[in-house]
Amino acid sequence: MDGGRIAVQVEDKVVRVKNMKLEGRLDGRLESPGSSRERLMEFGFDYCYWSVDPQGPNYASQEEVFQDLGVSVLAGASEGYNVCLFATPLDLRPGSVNFIEIYNERVRDLLRPADQKKPVSLRVREHPEKGPYVQGLSQHVVSDYKQAVDLLEEGIANRITAATHIHDASSRSHAIFTIQYTQAILENNLPSEIVSKINLVDLAGSERADPHYCRDRITEGANINKSLVTLGIVISTLAQNSQMFSSSQSINSVASEGEGSTVGSQSSSLSGSGRRHCFIPYRDSVLTWLLKDSLGGNSKTIMIATISPSCSSYNETLSTLRYAAHARNIVNKPRVNEDANVKLIRELREEIDRLKSMLLSFEMRRNLSPSLSDERDGSFSDIVLQNELKVEQLTRDWSDSWGDKRALLEQYGVDINQDRAGVLIHSLLPHLVALDRDVLSTGITIYHLPY
């Protein structure tokens, strides 16, 4: 279990409030303008940053935010965990990347090939093990930081923006930039392969209906609000389920420490009745569906809530803080994304070590007592031998698989990502490339044409 970390960053870059008096403090309190003491609200978060005035004594730069949050994101990803960071970019590592925007509840590829001038709406599917994914999304291999940043900037330039009463170029969509890379190594004849995924999520701000807007702006705002409302419902439901789970765990612990069976039965009835988890409506919005793993699933999640110190933004600030307060109660279940065969090899190795220790212990006892039977000794030896043969075969298959991939890449100059979704061919000979579109398959075939 892992609880997400929540940070609040106070900043105001909007031109319309430059000449207004900005008052703010980082004591976790929010006070309504001209309000009484009863309307003073308190919130608790893991980090708070004041990023309004660079000349101020408490000013927090993006470098400071990165040191507090971004470093841990990269550390978690290097260990094989999925990581999700809402609202801000961070340092990037080599791997494959993709970039999408969710515009009017439709998914668009921000890194689509230049020859596809007309935007194409992509479909969202769900893999039984890997979770939701975007079908037909282009994957781009990067080998260094600059390539990743160039793709990030290219995608940002392709996002849909429009002028509103707040911004001259307001984002009209949500965006998700995903980095995925595989780490594989063979050390001491023991393979290791983990796959990590980092989601960088930029959420569009909530919209107020304005009669002076054109129909497109009103439709965009309605869809933005719909996805944000669904996100709020999902976060609230997850927080409620997490609190119910925590309370039931505490009741069960009290019951186990009770002296009589009556206490245990009463506690069990309390924890069993009326404490069923609520349904989580992930599919009510494309945004929440794609972020299913990041919200209560297999991911370490960090949210940065950006608020304004301006009194004119009080309602938006209050809504954002409530979002973040609910998100702080969500408990995720991150796990290391290890290759199934590699995991089996490791478990077999552990079983072999355990059996060898048992065999050694049995031989020591047999030396002390020669009357012990040799049948158990023989059975242990047979199991150890069988497991060692399995480990040897699986390790050989794994090494051959990676060797074949490397040879194919070197022979034909192919750059291809782990999911086989994006391919770049540098061969000078005429050829055809066949890819299996099934996400469960990793097949690739190159046919050279005679000429």
pLDDT along the chain (451 residues), means of 10: 78 48 51 58 83 82 86 84 68 68 91 69 88 89 84 89 67 88 72 83 76 74 87 88 72 59 46 65 93 88 84 80 84 83 77 74 62 57 73 70 57 43 51 54 56 55
Question: Of 139, 30, 48, which Cα lies nearest the Cα of 422?
Answer: 139
Residue 267 covered by a domain: no
Q: What is the dihedral of CA 80, 82, 86, 89, to 10 degrees?
A: 40
Q: How many domains does the chain have?
A: 2
Does residue 210 sit in the same domain as residue 62? yes
Number of Cβ within 10 Å of residue 227's Cβ equals 21
Structure tokens at 297: 């699933």
Does residue 223 sit in the same domain as residue 367? no
User: So what's the pLDDT on residue 18?
Assistant: 40
Question: Of 328, 287, 331, 332, which Cα lies nearest the Cα of 305?
Answer: 328
Q: How far apart are CA 229 and CA 282, in angstroms?
A: 12
CATH classification of the domain holding 311? 3.40.850.10
Out of 292, 309, 332, pick the residue that ends a domain. 332
DSSP assigned state of 204 = P
User: So what's the pLDDT on residue 101?
Assistant: 93
User: So what's the pLDDT on residue 17?
Assistant: 39
Helices (H), 127-214: 145-158
φ, ψ dihedrals at 421, nearest 5°: -100, -25
CB 288 within 8 A of CB 227: yes
CB 100 within 8 A of CB 137: yes
Does residue 28 sit in the same domain as residue 55? yes
Q: How far apart are CA 415 and CA 429, in angstroms?
A: 16
CB 224 within 8 A of CB 204: yes
Residue 430 covered by a domain: yes
Does residue 300 sit in the same domain as residue 428? no
Strand-pair partners of 331: 3
User: So what's the pLDDT on residue 109?
Assistant: 92
Does residue 356 sit in the same domain as residue 303? no
Does residue 147 sit in the same domain as residue 186? yes
Q: Are strands 83-86 and 190-202 parallel, antiparallel or unpaired?
A: parallel
Strand-pair partners of 98: 178
Residue 130 covered by a domain: yes
Strand-pair partners of 83: 198, 300
Does residue 414 sit in the same domain as residue 284? no
What domain range is 286 assigned to? 2-248+280-332
Does residue 323 sit in the same domain as residue 355? no
Residue 270 covered by a domain: no
First to last CA, the chain: 60
* CA-to-CA separations, 436 to 144, 401, 433, in angstroms, rounded: 28, 17, 10
Q: How many residues does the chain have?
A: 451
Structure tokens at 265: 């039965």
Q: How far apart are CA 427 and CA 318, in angstroms?
A: 57
CB 343 within 8 A of CB 251: no
How much is the pTM?
0.70
Does residue 442 sit in the same domain as residue 323? no
Residue 271 covered by a domain: no
Does residue 122 sit in the same domain as residue 18? yes
CB 378 within 8 A of CB 366: no
Number of Cβ within 10 Å of residue 397's Cβ equals 13
